[in-house]
Structure 1
Amino acid sequence: MITFETVNVEIDGPTATIYFNRPDKKNAMSPQLHQDMHKALDAIEDDGNVKAVVITGVGDSFSAGMDLEECFLRPYNDPMLFYTTNLVALKWFQRLKAFPAVTIAKVNGYAFGGGFEVTGLCDLAVAAEHVKFGLSEINFGIFPAGGASWAATHNLQRKQALYYILTGDTMTGKQAEEFGFVNKAVPAEELDAVTDKIVSKIVNKNPVTLRLAKEVYERTTHLDLPEAIDYDQAKLWELARLTSNEWINVALKQFEKRSFRPGVETYKRDVA
């Protein structure tokens, strides 16, 4: 366990878990937490072997969002301090979205504002059925910013996104699953096991393939079909070069011998 002031990181082989650790503040995101998140992501990248990153919260909350006093009220009269304080947050949000490992939000409790955003930025998400998600910014006179509106518009249908942006109402974990905001909503006592099962499906895959699969998805959502095909074919050649054609020389050779079934399992990687 790597311990920072407001964030803990546990690295176990190909899996890393980041814990927001301000339970007395419902894991609200302070300036220190934003700095610590950069350190946490640095530590995971420096390790070099992590394929899956789980993000969760200590205590009964995932994250209540930005610490309104520390991030907004206190620095407001110093424009440069206000700008730099919040820039640290915006930068790690962007890092998380583009992180090379697969990111999984394990939402164990309240997820408002920035907590809602982190859930939406992660590649995958599992939530306890009882948790509450919300964008409460409209209730104190602003709209969700810093990427929070992006998280809503890219994970929810238009009318659902606008409903939660404009009303400040909350949705449960179960509703979040129905709306496609999380992959699964489960009873709280099953949250760890279900998340671990998803992680186990990720960590036996080729890390280069995982990274490029994310890149192809993100890029091709903005392309017409001919351009998307050109892009994914170029990435396929990149994959072949970076992995010594593992998909042909290892995976399909195993398939040829009928030693694995691609529809239901992953080939055995020949790695030291």
Structure 2
Amino acid sequence: MVRAGARRAGKGRHRPFWVELPLLVGVALVLALLIKTFLVQAFSIPSESMQNTLQKGDRVLVDKLTPWFGSEPERGEVVVFHDPDGWLDGVAVDPPNTVQKVLGFIGVMPSAEEKDLIKRVIGVGGDTVECAGDGPVKVNGKALDEPYVFPGNTPCSNDGRGTFKVTVPQGRLWVMGDHRQASADSRYHRDDRNDGMVPEDEVVGRAVVVAWPVGRWSTLPVPAAFSTAAGAALLPGPAAAVAAAVPLVLLRRRRATSGADAHP
């Protein structure tokens, strides 16, 4: 007859590490895929079109979470988006090796097979964006102060396509690179099916941090010039509103609890 103490000892016995290792690896892969799909993904900067904000070869982390709470791209944000209509046609891409494919699939490294671009949002649905000659860029009649434009560049390009005046349809974005004279952005794709605009549903997420190389670590905030670009302050997204409301709710609950304790 087996004693109860012996049975408990048998149940508490740990399995060898080599038996648990495949399970741990499987859990890690599932977590990595969930993070890549719903939270954060790494992307590599493929060109000089966003200098000096971003350099070719930089790795940025892209926020994919807030769109799940209804947040939409806003003016001034640096966003990653899928190629909307052949913007990358003819651009050579080095084929990834097997390790890069695996690490890219789980989100540890930027995917080398996805055709994605990164630009700054200048106009959103309903905005009128224009520029003549060397600039400045105007959004709804207000000139933008753009200190992030590449040194020596003008805000616009004084050529046929660099001069424009467009009204952005709802659900679309007008995007431009910070290296204005080296960026084939919305200005140069106005003959595509989207009139050079980027559909919001093609946006992967907002780039929020330069994560690599370590010496270039920095955040990517929205420049102050965009806070009143449309003639009114930009409203915070739903996620920010929820975050702001939580402390108020907790404070109210704490006061209510204190009041109940004081009056039995």
Q: TM-score per shorter chain, which class?
A: under 0.3
**TM-score (norm: length of structure 2):** 0.23
Q: Judging by fraction of residues, say which structure has more helix.
A: 1
**TM-score (norm: length of structure 1):** 0.23
Say which structure, 1 or 2, has more relative contact order (CA 8 Å, 6+ apart): 2
Which protein is bigger by CA-based radius of gyration? 2
